[in-house]
Amino acid sequence: MTLLAIDCGNSRLKWGFCQTAPEHNVHWLAQGALPYADLAGFADILRAQPLAERAVVANVAGALVADVISATLSALQLPAHWARGQAEQCGVRNHYEQPEQLGADRWAALIGARHLHRGPCLVVSAGTASTVDVLDADGNFQGGLILPGADLMLRALAQNTAQLPLSDGHFTGLPRNTADAITSGCLHAQLGAIERMYAQVAALPDAICLVTGGGASQFFDLLRIPKRWVDNLVLEGLVRIGD
């Protein structure tokens, strides 16, 4: 089966075409990303790709983006499934107090993580916001964090303080100028949240931190925990949801 997976995040759209096979093996044929300013050209991108049998979509970008995606898929006569947080799906159980309130992207990332790693893991997705979620070895989503991403922290400081500029500093252990102090502080906030949450699974056999997202490259190498980079983890989960 050929599937189109679409991840409508806070800042941009990510897409991928893949072929699935028995045992949920996935072969990616093409992947890409698109800023929302260029969304009108999404249909042309899809027409140039392999013909899919259906689409599966996660959307946290709001109703206007959803309307454009719906119209685009309808024009291509491509049936679509819209992912949503559920109590249980694809081997993952959702222990959110109200499972339907869990964002579709977080839910898909958890499902993707479950299929890539069967042990306990911390699932980190870093974009405009960073999410840090605990998934145990039995597939139970135990809970997690949402915090501003590093770039959003930088912009917030620049916009809401009188004398702290938008920083182009560098990470350092003991910053000795304002630009480095700002950059290092924002990255330490990401690292601290991730490493404190990882402590909840660190002693368990085969525990690891799975990291994805456009903002993760800023801090991935700085993490002092077992870790693995996964490109487009949300798309990996969407394929399992749609298969």
Indicate which residues carry an active-site annotation: 105
Q: What own/partner pairs with CB < 8 Å and gap ≥ 24 does 180-185 have? A: 182/154, 182/157, 183/154, 185/153
Which residues, 6+ apart, have CB-to-CB distance to 63 below 8 Å?
A: none
Contact criterion met (CB below 8 Å) for 241 and 59: no
For 179, phi and psi rounded to 5 degrees? -60, -45
Rounded CA-CA distance 224/188 in Å is 12
Amino acid, res. 50: P
Residue 125 near residue 233, CB atoms below 8 Å: yes
Type of residue at 219:
F
Q: Which two tokens stand for residue 68?
A: 């454009």
**Which stretches does DSSP call E strand in the chain?**
2-8, 12-21, 25-35, 54-59, 80-82, 88-89, 92-94, 121-126, 129-135, 140-148, 208-212, 227-229
Please, are residues 94 and 101 in contact by the beta-carbon 8 Å criterion?
Answer: no
